[in-house]
Amino acid sequence: MATWLNLFKQDQDGNKPLYSNNKVTFEQEVVLKADTPYQVALWKKTETSTGKQVDMVSIKIEENTFTTEVKVEPVKQVENVSTQKHRDDIPF
C-alpha cells in the first residue's frame, strides 16, 4: 500500500523549506522496514481533482514488490557411474 505526503508551496522568507505541511496525519500506522527496498516518487501538482489551483508536491512511498534478484538453489551433482559391470548389463 502506498503512503502519500502532500507538501504545499511556502513563501520564501530566509532559510525555510520550499514546500512543507504542518498538518500531516495518517489513517493508519506507517512502518518503514530496515533492509527493504522502497519506491519513492515526487509529483508536482498545479490543480486538485476538483479543479482548484494549487502549488504543491506529493511524495509517494511504496514498498518495492518488483525484484530483479534471482535466487538459485545449488544443484546436486550426480555421480556418473561407468564401470565395466554396468556396461555388461546392457541386454542386446
- Specify the pLDDT at position 24: 92
User: Which residues, at least 6 apart from 3, have a Cβ–Cβ distance to it below 8 Å?
Assistant: 26, 30, 60, 61, 62
Q: Which residue has the cell 530483479?
A: 68
Task: Report percent pLDDT > 90 for the chain.
Answer: 51
Q: Write out pLDDT tens, residues 44-82.
A: 999 988 999 999 999 999 998 876 666 667 777 776 656
CB 4 within 8 A of CB 58: yes
Q: For the chain, state the CA radius of gyration.
A: 30
